[in-house]
Structure 1
Amino acid sequence: MVRDGTHAYAMFPQVALQLFFVSLVVLDPLVVVLVGLVRREGVWLAGSVMTLDLCGNWWGNWHWLRDDPSQLLRLLPLTLFGVFVVASMLPLHRAVAGTTVRSETALPSA
Structure 2
Amino acid sequence: MGVQLRERWGGQPLWARWVLAVYLIGFLEGACAHFLDLIRGGFHAYAAFPQVSLQAFFISLAVLDPLVVVLVAFVRRPGVWLASGVMVLDVSANWIGNWQWLQDDPAGLLRPVGLLPITLFGLFVVASLIPLHRTTAMTRRKPQAVMPSR
Relative CO higher for 1 or 2, CA cutoff 8 Å, sep ≥ 6?
2
Spell out, residue by residue over 1:43-97, the C-alpha distance to the aligned partner (whole angstroms, 9 max, x if none).
0000000110000000000001111111222421111111111111111111111
Higher fraction of helix: 1
- Residue 116 of structure 2 corresponds to residue 76 of structure 1: yes
**Cα RMSD over matched residues?**
1.4
* Partner Cα distance (2:58, 2:67) in 1: 14
- Residue of structure 2 equivalent to 1:89: 129
Stretches of structure 2 lacking an aligned partner (at least 5 in a row): 1-37
State the partner residue of 1:59.
96
TM-score (norm: length of structure 2): 0.67
Question: Where do residues 6-85 of structure 1 align in structure 2 (5 Å cutoff)?
Answer: 6-74=43-111, 75-85=115-125
Q: Distance in 2 between matches of 1:4 and 1:33?
A: 26
Q: Percent identity?
A: 65
CA distance in 1 between partners of 2:137 and 2:56 (Å): 33
Amino acid at match of 1:13: P
Task: State yes or no: 1:4 paired with 2:44.
Answer: no
Deviation at 1:109, TM superposition (A): 8.2
Deviation for aligned residue 1:108: 5.2
In 1, distance between residues paired with 2:69 and 2:106?
33
Residue 98 of structure 1 is matched in structure 2 by 138
CA distance in 1: counterparts of 2:132 and 2:67, whole angstroms: 17
Deviations 1:12-37 (A, max 9, x none): 11100000000000000000001111
Distance 1:20 1:94 in 2: 29
